[in-house]
Structure formats: C-alpha cells, structure tokens
Structure 1
Amino acid sequence: MSFKQRVVKYFNNHAETSENHWDSLLQTHYYKTTKDKGLDTVEQFFMQSDAFKINAVSKEHGELSVSVVKGKKAFIVVTIIMVRPYQTAIDFSVTTESLLPFDFAYSSRLIQRLYNEFNEIFPLIE
C-alpha cells in the first residue's frame, strides 16, 4: 500500500470492496452458496443483530441497504451476486455518517468485521 493509498484510506468516509482492490482486505469474497440462500442468510444476520437496521431488500437485484444504529453511524449496501453455480460474491459499500469528511478507516474496518462474520457462516472459496 502506497503512502497516498494509506492517506486516502484514513481520510475518507467511504469504502467499498471490489474484485481487484489495491487493499487485499477489501477484495471481494466468494462463498460456496447460492444467491437466494446467501441473501436470506445475510438478511437474517442483520435482522438478528441489534447494531444494524435493514432499510430495504431487493431480491431481484441481490441487494440490501442497512444502517448501523449502534456506535458510529454508517450506511451499508450489500450486493450478493452468483457468478457460477455455488459460487457467490458478496460486496460492500460503506459510507460513514459524521460531521467530519473522514472516518479514520472506520468504514474499512467495518467491512473487514462483516467479512470475518460471514466467513464463519459461509464456506469461503479461496
């Protein structure tokens, strides 16, 4: 990670995952599940947690919008896409809601925490 990338990571209020992200911790994770089962399981995960509130679910698009209600406020969009049978990608887009235009990498750490939780729920494809 270059100096510029490190500065952008800490002095930004938004983070998202992608397949070829320069930060290996923010690369897309692939799980051995179907889109529908993955979406239902992710929805249940957020419903059971009192730290999150689901705003909307689009089963056709495979997306959930979630708000973080405990601790630092943030808005999360979870995208679930089946790339081939029993190989499903889960991506995040997180924007922190604060008065400051940066969050000291809170959004990146939130993504990492969610991926760690999902790694316990779904079989990860390396």
Structure 2
Amino acid sequence: MGLWERIKRFFSTHTETREKHVDEKLRTHYYKSTKDKVIQDIQALLGQQSGFTISSINEEHGEIIVNVKKGKKAFMVITVIMVRPFRTAIDISVNTETILFSDFGYSRKLIYHLYGEINKRLQFVGTGLGDELTSSGNYR
C-alpha cells in the first residue's frame, strides 16, 4: 500500500469494499451459497449484534441498509449478488457520522468485523474472484 493510499485511508469517514481493493481484507468476499440464504443469514447476524438496526431489505436488488449506533454512528449498505449458482458476492459500504475529518479506521474495522462474522456462518470461497470473468462476460 502506497503512501497516498495510507493518507486517503487516514483522512476518510467512508470505507467501501470492491473487487480489486489495495487492502486484500477489503476485497469483495465470495461464498458458496444462494443470494436468499446469504440475505437471511446476514439479517439473523445483524439481529444478534447490539447496536445494529436494519432499516430496509430489498431482496430483489440484494441490498441491506443498516444503521449502526454502537460506538460511532454509521450508515452501512450491504450488497449481495449471486454471480452464478452457489457463488454469491458480498460488498459492504460504510459511512461514519462524525464532525471530524476522519473516523480513525472505524468504518474499516466495522467491515473487517462483519466479514469475520459472516465467514463463521457461511462457506467462504475467496476474495476478489471477479476476474474469473472472461472478456465475453462468461465464466471459465
């Protein structure tokens, strides 16, 4: 991770996972499951966590909107996409509500924590597997 990435990460109140993230822990996570099962498991997980309130669930679009009131206040969007049968991707975006210029890594740690808890419930396949797509858009 370069100096510029470290500076951006420090002066941020937003963290988002993506396919080719510099931080390997923040790459899209893939699980051997269906979209509906993943959404149900995440809903159950968040129901057991104190300070997490699910605002809405859109199963059609695979989005779960969560308000976090534990520690610092935050707004989280969890996106669940079934990329092929029994291969489901999860991406997470967290915005921390703070008057400061930084959340001091809180949003990043929140994603680490959530991925860790999901990994305990579902069969983890890997991170950043989207490059399995060929140029034609089909899987190898």
Larger Rg: 2
CA–CA distance in structure 2, aligned partners of residues 23 and 124 of structure 1: 18
TM-score, scaled to structure 1: 0.96
Q: Is the 8 A contact 1:11 1:105 kept in 2?
A: no
Identity rate of aligned residues, in percent?
Answer: 48
Which residue matches 2:101?
A: 101
The aligned residue for residue 64 of structure 1 is 64
SS of 1:25's equivalent in the other structure is: helix
Distance 1:44 1:17 in 2: 22
Unaligned runs of 5+ residues in structure 1 are: none
SS in 2 for 1:65: strand
By how many angstroms is 1:105 displaced? 1.4
Task: Give the C-alpha shift of residue 84 in structure 1.
Answer: 0.6
Q: Give the TM-score normalised by structure 2.
A: 0.87
For 1:46, give the aligned amino acid: L
C-alpha separation in 1, matches of 2:50 and 2:21: 30
Amino acid at match of 1:107: S
Give yes or no for the alignment of 1:79 onto 2:84: no
Paired residue type of 1:92: I
Q: Distance in 1 between matches of 2:87 and 2:25?
A: 19
* Corresponding residue number in structure 2 for 1:55: 55
Instruction: Kindly provide the amino acid, as one letter, of the partner of residue 88 in structure 2.
Output: T
CA distance in 1, matches of 2:103, 2:69: 16
Please tell me the residue identity of whatever aligns with 1:109: K
Which 4+ residue blocks in structure 1 deviate beyond 2 angstroms? none
CA RMSD of aligned residues (A): 0.8
- The count of aligned residue pairs is 126
- The one-letter code of the counterpart of 2:111 is I
* C-alpha contact (below 8 Å) 1:67/1:75 kept by paired residues: yes
